[in-house]
Amino acid sequence: MQYKTNQGVQSENKALEIRSLSLDYIMPDQSIHAVVDLNLVARTGKITALVGESGSGKSTVALAVMGIQDKNAVIPGGEIYLAGTDILSMPKKGLRSYISNHAGIIFQDPIDSLNPLLTVGEQLVEAVLIHEKITKKQAFTIALNQLLAVSLPQPEELMKKYPFMLSGGMCQRVMIAIASVFRPALLIADEPTTALDVTVQAQILHQLDSMRKREGTAILLITHDLGVVAEIADDVCVMKDGYIVESGTVEDIFSNPQHRYTCQLLAAAL
Amino acid sequence: MEVLAETLNIRKTYEKQNLFTKKREQVSAVNGVSLKIRKGCSVGLIGESGSGKSTLGRMMVGLETPTEGQALFRGQSISYISLRKMRPLRRNIQMIFQNSSSIFDTSYTVGESIAEVIKNSEKVSKKECLEKVETILEQVGLDALYAQRYPKELSGGQRQRANIARALVLHPEFVVCDEPVSSLDYSLRKQILTLLNDLRNKFGLTYLFITHDLNCVPYVCDIMAIMYAGKIVEQIDLKKNSMQNALHPYTSLLFSCIPAKMPAERKKCTMESIIDTTVIPDSKYCCRFFPRCPCCTERCTNEEPLLKEVASGHFVACHIV
């Protein structure tokens, strides 16, 4: 069966293309328009930053791309092309494995995103085994290499440890290792450094940067910190109240902001 | 100017017991800090998480009892005194806590929570109390109507303002701000820092400003103290010296980690020294930073560096400086 694709329109380097996506949250007494007519492209090997204050709907976009939006979320219209195929027009069956093969996500709070009852190794091996039919031993080797790739020291020791024994920065790097285990075309980083120290933030950003250079992963970086954006992003989309008010390359946005809201954000920088 | 708050070689060691082996372990959070804060001065305490900066702040307001040494307020020790003796001092020493969403009682309105602070230290009529609450709310930039709201009805920035109002309602002399902006949205940070500055000028406050974000420092601080593994490794008087003159390798590391302000200013971070952040040597007779230090020498591994003055108002604890 053929699903809707965005082939033909220079789709080669678009890991993610969102076309006029709208998303409403249905409440008992009202419905909230969280995302309105949103267009966004994340290109292979580039870091696209989605910037906005809390409540602007940027995390909702991330959840919709991963197909894990809340139960009361309704998508009245739009298309989300993930690696060339519209995931909104795909049937429920097979959708989850399609998304997990093409996209990974890391969240704001790294310690809470890992299972506290399983060791780091068990969780990594589990992630490998979901994607590939191989023996546990082979999976273990892949997992070990994965930890080395995010430059964690002494990976063998680390595999036996539980998340609470690690620092926040190490947990976040384990999360990156898990999310990128199957070389996804797209990695969504939802405020990956907000809960972390400046030194650890620098490490994580360095990690994301080297990953997109090494693997050519497209990274959708969701953040409210313009410092992070200035440091590593290539393209920027500024979001306010569900709308994208301005988008462009990072140089354009920082040196020549057009929208009033973007100017306000830049003026609020420390 | 007179010294308002002070610590004398203060130490705090936490003891934790392993659940299964019952073996006791000592974790030293603050390891001999002497800090003087003069009246009207604002001291920024900067360090990574786990460096003991919050513990030091809590000892300076008397919320935590030190294992050794003491914290003084106006020359009087506040470390080992009873709660009854602490109460009259409490109105002069307040703290702005980090997480504004958990410090308010959810079943009290914001006004009631702030009124509680007033009732604790002075006898006032209901009307006077209400007036005080409304005045302070207006002073922190909130409408007096917010007194009747519940904490969950306020946004993050408003709640942080209410949090500041709660700490300042008694017009304390000394305020410890524990990461007041790190849980806030980027766009709100500057607002709150400006507010803290305005209030400081208005009420003549003295701040101990705890943060891990070096970007905040030039906005609110007169003196910057860098803390690493329970010790102050560098202290700079920003009125006499520029922040950029910092000499300690750890301070340089912190500076190199600040994200660029503009895309054109991107720089390469020295990654080697950042990796493996958790290693802190046990020995008392070495520099605690040496495993991460890019310019570590033999001397650093067997002798502890002490704070020495390298320029007027600039102290560094490092052998190679």
B71 phi-psi bin (left φ>0, alpha ψ -120 to 50, beta other): beta
pLDDT at B173 (0 to 100):
93
Q: Give residue B214's pLDDT band: very low, low, confident or very high (50, 70, 90).
A: confident
Is the confidence at residue B165, as pLDDT, over 70?
yes
Substitution target in A48, A172, A199 with the highest count of B β-carbons within 10 Å is: A199
Chain B interface includes A197 (CB < 8 A):
yes
Q: Do B48 and A197 touch (CB under 8 A)?
A: yes
Q: Which residues in chain A are contacts of B191 at CB distance < 8 A?
A: 268
Which residue would you say has higher pLDDT here, B283 or B3? B3
Q: Which residues in chain B are contacts of A231 at CB distance < 8 A?
A: 259-260, 266
- Domain ranges for chain B, please list them: 3-92+172-251+311-316, 103-169
By Cβ distance, the residue of B185, B262, B277 closest to A169 is B277
Q: Is the ipTM of this complex over 0.85?
A: no
Chain B interface includes A28 (CB < 8 A):
no
pLDDT at B83 (0 to 100):
87
Q: Do B191 and A268 touch (CB under 8 A)?
A: yes
For residue B142, give the nearest of B92, B193, B195, B105 by alpha carbon. B195
Substitution target in A154, A222, A231 with the highest count of B β-carbons within 10 Å is: A231
**Rounded Cα–Cα distance for residues A82 and B119 (Å):** 60
pLDDT at B221 (0 to 100):
92
Residues B227-237: tens digit of each pLDDT = 998 899 999 99
pLDDT at B51 (0 to 100):
86
Is the confidence at residue B277, as pLDDT, over 70?
no
Per-window interface: A 60-99 vs B, CB < 8 A: none
Is the confidence at residue B219, as pLDDT, over 90?
no
Chain B interface includes A168 (CB < 8 A):
yes
Is the confidence at residue B23, as pLDDT, over 60?
yes
pLDDT at B266 (0 to 100):
78
By Cβ distance, the residue of B212, B253, B260 closest to A230 is B260
Search chain A and give the residue with CA nearest B211: A197
pLDDT at B10 (0 to 100):
94
- The amino acid sitting at B218 is P
pLDDT at A36 (0 to 100):
93
pLDDT at A10 (0 to 100):
54
pLDDT at B218 (0 to 100):
87
B264-271: Cβ within 8 A, 24+ apart: B264/A251, B265/A230, B266/A230, B266/A231, B266/A232, B269/A202, B269/A206, B270/B294, B271/A202, B271/A203, B271/A206
By Cβ distance, the residue of B190, B216, B261 closest to A227 is B261
Is the confidence at residue B273, as pLDDT, over 70?
no
Residues B127-145: tens digit of each pLDDT = 999 999 999 999 888 888 9
CATH topology for the A14-114+185-267 domain: Rossmann fold (3.40.50)
Which residue would you say has higher pLDDT here, A54 or B305? B305
Substitution target in A151, A162, A197, A245 with the highest count of B β-carbons within 10 Å is: A197
Is the confidence at residue B220, as pLDDT, over 70?
yes
The beta strand positions in B201-245, using DSSP E, are: 206-211, 223-228, 231-237
Lowest model confidence (mean pLDDT) among B84-98, B179-193, B274-288: B274-288
| Average pLDDT of chain B, as a whole number | 87
Chain B interface includes A33 (CB < 8 A):
no
Tell me which residue has tokens 């208005």: B202
By Cβ distance, the residue of A169, A225, A230 closest to B262 is A230
Q: Do A199 and B262 touch (CB under 8 A)?
A: no
pTM of the model: 0.84
- Domain ranges for chain A, please list them: 14-114+185-267
pLDDT at A8 (0 to 100):
55
DSSP per-residue letters across A118-159: S-HHHHHHHHHHHH----HHHHHHHHHHHHHHTT-S-HHHHH
CATH topology for the B3-92+172-251+311-316 domain: Rossmann fold (3.40.50)
Q: Do A197 and B215 touch (CB under 8 A)?
A: no
Q: Residue-wise pLDDT tens for chain A (270 aa)?
A: 557 776 655 556 889 999 999 999 998 888 889 999 999 999 999 999 999 888 888 989 999 999 988 889 999 989 999 988 999 988 888 898 899 889 999 988 888 889 999 999 999 999 999 888 889 999 999 999 889 888 888 888 899 999 988 888 889 989 999 998 888 999 999 988 887 888 888 888 988 998 889 889 999 999 988 889 998 999 999 999 999 999 999 999 999 999 999 998 888 887
